[in-house]
Chain A
């Protein structure tokens, strides 16, 4: 089976891409390659040009913040079926975190430059892809804000027994 066919089949089953038209999925598939990362390998590092967008096929990836002199802090984790990276879509196309494989991780990588060029040339395709990526970005932002409110911290209220 050709790579494009494999990728197209995966995209067809993915919640983000399944609603694209078959032609649009083929455009995405044309920018794809299969990649494998060993446990502990960095898929990308904070501040690097966002050259790829990834779909995790199998494995787990930690998004980390590196603090000099301290152990890294994991702020989010992603796994099978999750998209990894949205910096490729938003100028200046630089990554915001370190992404590290927590175990053997197989991903589908999409060349960001290739995708952006197709989106410029084909605005309907560009809009469709933006429309699928925007909810991912929004839900990650909402989740990050919820993590910030520390809902499991000690409530001020006294007399509430089990929380």
Chain B
């Protein structure tokens, strides 16, 4: 699962904003291309970049694009703080500094032969999208493929058209739920864990990837475990206050791990003990 280091991971590369798309009310997607040259930007599903907005600051953002199309760098961002709110105002042609890619990846290749269950909540679908693209590109190598997604309301559903497209495939099961909905909503209402029982996967042959708010991850891991998915077959993406992204500054220390270097994707059995520590 470890990903080889790039030569100079502290060096900033200028990228041009090619497109800005509003996904939902506070979440947007930036499509970037290198300002100089046409080099591709290879990455593994689950990795993140440090995006720098000159004069404002730098933030860690997961890559949400298709790993088979590395010539464009895609990031889906929720505008929460000063930097991300400023990024939301970027226009085509603006320059963004990029360092990366960093961190561990979803074990997409290792999951070959297994049923794969993706559980995502809110904007947590973004770091999982590259894994979904990678699995669909080699769909024949996997067993049942299940994507379960939870959002706050129908208006907050991220990548709605893609979810519909994936769900329209005969070989992929997609189920979406929201926490609350108006009366004209025809889909599911309830927590994302309520979808797990309808997935039709075989727990003993399943590998699960989970990403979303930490509370959601906790309940999802519990529900998977209750159904018989082993801890060493559950992977999750953690989020902490990452600054340097190379395990140097210690801001994202989590027990004995640095989330930027040892994560953000962790196998659950390796972090189960620290996962339960409330003070961390």
Taking a contact as CB atoms under 8 Å apart, the answer to whether A152 and B152 are in contact is yes
Residue count of chain A within 8 Å CB distance of chain B:
33
**A160-B239, A163-B213 are contacts. A77–B122 as well, Cβ < 8 Å?**
no
State A138–B55 Cα separation when bound (angstroms).
52
The answer to the question of A102 belonging to the interface, with a C-beta cut-off of 8 Å to chain B, is yes
Taking a contact as CB atoms under 8 Å apart, the answer to whether B152 and A77 are in contact is no
State A153–B187 Cα separation when bound (angstroms).
20
State A149–B179 Cα separation when bound (angstroms).
10
- Give the chain A neighbours of B198 by CB distance below 8 A: 79-81
- Say whether chain A's binding surface is mostly helix, strand, loop, or mixed: loop
Taking a contact as CB atoms under 8 Å apart, the answer to whether A163 and B78 are in contact is yes
Listed residue (A103, A161, A163) with the most chain B CB atoms within 10 angstroms of its CB: A161
The answer to the question of A159 belonging to the interface, with a C-beta cut-off of 8 Å to chain B, is yes
- Give the chain A neighbours of B186 by CB distance below 8 A: 60, 102-103
**A75-B180, A147-B179, A159-B241 are contacts. A153–B80 as well, Cβ < 8 Å?**
no
- Say whether chain B's binding surface is mostly helix, strand, loop, or mixed: mixed
- Give the chain A neighbours of B191 by CB distance below 8 A: 143, 146-147
Give residues 143-182 of B contacting A (CB, 8 Å). Answer: 150-152, 156, 177, 179-182
**A76-B190, A77-B187, A151-B215 are contacts. A163–B181 as well, Cβ < 8 Å?**
no
> What is the CB-to-nearest-CB distance from B126 to chain A, in angstroms, rounded to a whole number?
6
**A75-B180, A76-B189, A146-B191 are contacts. A161–B82 as well, Cβ < 8 Å?**
no
Q: List 26 A-B contacts (CB under 8 A).
A: A60-B186, A62-B185, A71-B182, A73-B181, A73-B183, A74-B182, A74-B185, A77-B187, A79-B198, A102-B186, A143-B191, A143-B193, A147-B180, A149-B215, A151-B121, A151-B213, A152-B179, A155-B213, A159-B241, A161-B59, A161-B80, A162-B123, A162-B127, A163-B78, A163-B80, A163-B123
- Chain B residues engaging chain A, CB cutoff 8 angstroms: 26, 59-62, 76-78, 80-84, 121-124, 126-127, 150-152, 156, 177, 179-191, 193-194, 197-198, 212-213, 215-216, 219, 239, 241
- Chain A residues engaging chain B, CB cutoff 8 angstroms: 15, 60, 62-64, 71-77, 79-81, 102-103, 143, 146-147, 149-155, 158-163
